[in-house]
């Protein structure tokens, strides 16, 4: 069961799986299909299961993921760069897939975080309805705040199926966003080193 805020009435509504499945049956009927035919009878249930996976980020807290850090790094104070983190999200305007990669870097102050946690933070924010610009900023700010880092850089390079499969239909178009905090924003030499790392 999901809790959904009704912005019109400022109330919290409970939405069950059955109610959500019925909504998808209505959509199937709306597009001209017969929701009762053999191939579609179980489709609403399967879509609900898929949506729980697509949008599981709403139930996860990135700060919890970044709670455990390590101080035994013998004074390491250069950037940590993780490249080519696969990314799948959905745009909030058409609910169409966003497919691409994220590159994440941070400069630790005193402590570092497990490498898998960087990819997990990308996952949490990408598993929500998004714009790429906001997604890039959310990842960067979460890392900066939770790690108390000297600087953070995030780059996302992705394809938006809302413009490759519909609308303008430019199949080869990709979108790149960058967001810098701390030393990455203040020092162009550090920023340029980062950009060289992720371009290799």
**Residues noted as catalytic:** 91-94, 132, 160, 162
Q: Do 132 and 87 touch, CB atoms closer than 8 A?
A: no
pLDDT tens digits along 88-145: 999 999 999 999 999 999 999 988 999 999 999 999 999 999 999 999 999 999 999 9
- What's the confidence (pLDDT) of residue 110? 86
Check pLDDT > 80 for residue 12: no
Q: Compute the distance between CA of residue 75 and CA of residue 57 in angstroms, rounded to an integer.
A: 34
Tell me what percent of the residues of the chain surpass a pLDDT of 70. Answer: 94
Q: What number is the average pLDDT over the span 46-53?
A: 97
- What's the confidence (pLDDT) of residue 6? 56
- What's the confidence (pLDDT) of residue 40? 98
- What's the confidence (pLDDT) of residue 127? 98
Most confident of 4-8, 72-76, 109-113: 109-113
Q: DSSP readout, 69-106? A: EE--STT--S-EEEEEEEEEEEETTT--EEEEEEEEEE
pLDDT tens digits along 36-45: 999 999 999 9
- What's the confidence (pLDDT) of residue 56? 97
**Closest among 64, 112, 98, 114 to 173, alpha carbons compared:** 98
Q: Compute the distance between CA of residue 6 and CA of residue 13 in angstroms, rounded to an integer.
A: 7
Q: Compute the distance between CA of residue 26 and CA of residue 21 in angstroms, rounded to an integer.
A: 9
Check pLDDT > 50 for residue 1: no
Q: What is the DSSP letter of 174?
A: -
Identify the residue whose tokens are 């399967």.
46
User: In the chain, what's the furthest Cα-to-Cα distance?
Assistant: 65
Lowest mean pLDDT segment, chosen from 44-53, 65-74, 154-163, 188-197: 65-74
Tell me what percent of the residues of the chain surpass a pLDDT of 90. Answer: 84
Sign of the dihedral defined by the CA atoms of residues 117, 121, 124, 126, in that order? negative
Distances (CA, A) of 100 to 37, 94, 140, 156, 174: 36, 17, 17, 7, 9
Identify the residue whose tokens are 């929701």.
35
Cross-strand bridge partners of residue 177? 156
Identify the residue whose tokens are 């490498």.
115
pTM of the model: 0.91
Strands of 7-71 (E only): list them.
11-15, 69-70
Helix (DSSP H) and strand (DSSP E) numbers for the chain: 8, 9
Check pLDDT > 60 for residue 7: no
- What's the confidence (pLDDT) of residue 190? 98
Q: Please indicate whether residue 199 or residue 4 has the higher confidence score (pLDDT).
A: 199
Check pLDDT > 70 for residue 11: no
Q: What domains can you pick out in the chain, each with its CATH number?
A: 2-54 (1.10.286.10), 69-199 (3.30.1130.10)
Check pLDDT > 70 for residue 2: no
């Amino acid at each position: 069961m999901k809790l959904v805020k009704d912005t019109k009435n400022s109330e919290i509504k409970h939405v069950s799986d059955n109610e959500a499945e019925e909504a998808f049956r209505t959509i199937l009927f709306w597009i001209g299909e017969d929701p009762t035919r053999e191939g579609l009878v179980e489709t609403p249930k399967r879509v609900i299961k898929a949506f729980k996976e697509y949008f599981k980020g709403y139930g996860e807290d990135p700060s919890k993921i970044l709670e455990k850090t390590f101080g035994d790094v013998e004074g390491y104070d250069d950037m940590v760069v993780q490249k080519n983190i696969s990314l799948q999200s959905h745009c909030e305007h058409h609910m169409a897939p966003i497919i691409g990669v994220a590159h994440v870097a941070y400069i630790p102050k005193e402590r570092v975080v497990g490498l898998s946690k960087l990819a997990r933070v990308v996952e949490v924010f990408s598993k929500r309805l998004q714009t790429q610009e906001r997604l890039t900023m959310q990842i960067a700010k979460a890392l900066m705040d939770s790690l108390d880092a000297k600087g953070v850089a995030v780059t996302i390079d992705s394809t938006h199926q809302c413009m490759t499969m519909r609308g303008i239909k430019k199949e080869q178009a990709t979108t790149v966003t960058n967001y810098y905090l701390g030393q990455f924003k203040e020092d162009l030499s550090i920023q340029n080193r980062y950009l060289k790392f992720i371009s290799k």
